Amino acid sequence: MTSNNRINDGKLCPLRIALNTSEFAQWMHAHRGQTVARTAIQAAFKQSFKQVDASAMQLRCASKLGSSNKDILTEIWLTIPTAQLAQFPQPESFGPGLRGNCAAKIQILQN
C-alpha cells in the first residue's frame, strides 16, 4: 500500500478501509494515550475479527529511553496470506504470523 491509501488504479484500498473502520481500530482509537494489557489488545482483535486466537496479529514495541522493557506500541502487523486478501476481513482471511516483542503492559501513544 502506498502512503496515501491508494493502489495503482487510483481507488481507495478496500483492505485499509475495512481495517480502519473495524471494531478493532475503534478500540485502539478509544485507548490512545493509555497503558493497557497486551491480552486486552489481543482480546479486542479476536472479538473484532472473530478469531479463536491472536496468532495472526504481531504487536511490535519499542523501549523508553534507558529502559529494556519494550512497552511502547509502534506497529501492529496482521498476517493475511495473499490468496486470502479478497476475503478480508472475513475470519478465514487470516493466517498465523510471527510472535511480537511487547511487554505484558503496553502504552498506546496518543498519535
Query: pTM for the whole thing?
Result: 0.85
User: Which pLDDT score, from 0 to 100, does residue 10 have?
Assistant: 47
Cβ-defined contacts of 12-15 (< 8 Å, 24+): 15/80, 15/85, 15/88
Please tell me the predicted confidence (pLDDT) of residue 76.
96
In the chain, where the domains are located: 33-107
Weakly modelled stretches of the chain, pLDDT under 50: 1-7, 10
- Measure CA 107 to chain center: 14
Q: What is the pLDDT of residue 74?
A: 96
